[in-house]
Amino acid sequence: MIDALRRVVIGVGNPQRGDDAAGREVVVRLRNRLPPGVELIEEFGESAAILAHMEGARAAYLVDACASGVPPGTVHRFDVAASCLPRSLRACSTHGLGIAEAIELARALGTLPEHCILYAVEGESYGLGAPLSSTVRAAVSSLAEHLATELMQSRPG
């Protein structure tokens, strides 16, 4: 059942791997700033868990790190409710079903929220135990501001 008020922001990443934590850091920066009904969630990236968080939500905002070769700190935005993720985004993985798979699995099962946006922050370095790079830290701050505004403006009526 869809909860008309429920919106989720899911930050995905490994907190021990440098810029891979970008998505989670965005969620951390949104804490205590958003209206009731917005759930803030941090995840490692396992798809079934992400799928479960999205189920029944009116809107989902997913934030992840990515490595596509563009300058670090670039933020990609995909309206995944409107169209499928490009095939090249889906990992041909043996085990790690990630965020892209969670989205397409939700679509296949008919549980994708009607409003679903994926933000992907281009990372720079992914060292074990490393903090965010300064470039990505700046991108994370500005994405958090952008999301805070978007979530305040698009409050369900």
Binding interface with other proteins (CB under 8 A): 12-17, 20, 43-49, 51-52, 64-70, 74-78, 85-86, 88-101, 104-105, 108-109, 119-120, 123, 126, 128-129, 142-143, 145-146
Taken in order 106, 61, 39, 57, is the CA torsion positive or negative? negative
Residues facing residue 59 across a β-bridge: 7, 115
Nearer to other proteins among residue 5 and residue 14 (C-beta): 14
Q: Are 60 and 7 in contact (CB under 8 A)?
A: yes
As measured in angstroms, the least distance from the Cβ of 80 to other proteins is 11
Q: How far is the CB of 36 from other proteins (least distance, A)?
A: 22
Residue closer to other proteins (CB basis): 95 or 157: 95
DSSP element (H, E) containing 76: strand 75-79
Nearer to other proteins, 82 or 157 (CB): 82
Of 38 and 139, nearer to other proteins (C-beta) is 139
The Cα 66–Cα 77 span in angstroms is 12
Asked whether 118 and 20 are in contact (CB, 8 A), the reply is no
Nearer to other proteins, 28 or 157 (CB): 28
Alpha-carbon distance 130 to 157, whole Å?
Answer: 42
Shortest Cβ distance from residue 157 to other proteins (Å)?
Answer: 25
Least Å from the CB of residue 114 to other proteins? 19
Q: What is the DSSP string of 105-118?
A: HHHHHT---SEEEE
Q: Cα(21)–Cα(32) distance, rounded to whole angstroms? A: 20
Q: Least distance from C-beta 123 to other proteins, angstroms?
A: 7
